[in-house]
Amino acid sequence: MPIPDGKPACRKITARDLLRIMPLLMLDLDNTLVDRDAAFRDAVAAFLAEHRLPDTDLSWVMTIDASGYTARHDVATAVTDRYQGMVPAEAIHALLDHGAADRVVLTDSSREALGKAQVDGWTCVIVTNGRTAQQEAKIRQAGLDQLVQGWVISEAVGRKKPEPEIFHAAAETVGVPLTGAWVIGDSPHADIAGANVLGLRSVWVSNGQLWSQDSSQPTHVAKDVATAINYVISAAR
């Protein structure tokens, strides 16, 4: 077809075009990208053995910790009170500050899925609640700093999931609009409810659990993060 007036054919890039070029995938860290509970369990077991404490206390510490949702100060107080006079305070602080961070690993399937997402044009950013030093240590230990385009941590931005501001901060960190983004995470409250408030699609990583929330629903449920990432890639094509 002839081009009017001899001018080159062109058209304005639309928001739809931009999303096709650089879609945004926001991923939770603990118990989503990495098995934080397994890492912390290993650390606690080593701690108990080193200080000759009952190995049956493993379940007690894990219950107090509540998958990291209990405030560090409260966990430290409970553990200190239980082992006062038996364990140096420094050892307790080391357990809580570095125990999980030093042991987290990224599975091959998760690594491959992240690589596939990037090849497919996705911009991947980690959105996690927690303390900056501890969460960044996990990211680097697992090698995630080489596989994602950025991350935001609640302590650093002064907001935490499910607050909308932390998701906006994640999008701004990597320079990609929130429109059309997906959220992947294991927390119904922090991840899925946070996505729903912003009108974003989401995948809940079940880790063997059943969905039991009535207030919000994920777009999809996946057994693990690799399956979740692959679902998002396929759904967006």
Q: What is the pLDDT of residues 129-144, one digit of tens each?
A: 999 999 999 999 999 9
Q: Phi and psi (nearest 5°) for 228?
A: -65, -45
Flag the least confident range among 9-23, 69-83, 163-177.
Answer: 9-23
Distance of CA 148 to the CA centre of its chain: 12
Average pLDDT estimate for 89-111: 97
CATH of domain 15-35+105-236: 3.40.50.1000
Quote the pLDDT of residue 5.
Answer: 46
Average pLDDT estimate for 79-96: 96
Looking at per-residue confidence, does 33 or 20 come out higher? 33
Residue 21 banded pLDDT, cuts 50, 70, 90: low
Cα–Cα distance, 171 to 193 (Å, whole number): 18
111 near 147, Cβ under 8 Å? yes
Looking at per-residue confidence, does 212 or 182 come out higher? 182
Residue 18 has pLDDT above 60, yes or no: no
Cα–Cα distance, 192 to 160 (Å, whole number): 13
- Residue span(s) of the chain under CATH 3.40.50.1000 come to 15-35+105-236
Residue 66 banded pLDDT, cuts 50, 70, 90: very high
Average pLDDT estimate for 217-234: 97
Place of tokens 């929330």: 213
Residue 6 has pLDDT above 70, yes or no: no
Quote the pLDDT of residue 8.
Answer: 37
By CB neighbour count within 10 A (0-12 exposed, 13-18 middle, 19+ buried), where does 52 fall? exposed
Average pLDDT estimate for 153-181: 97
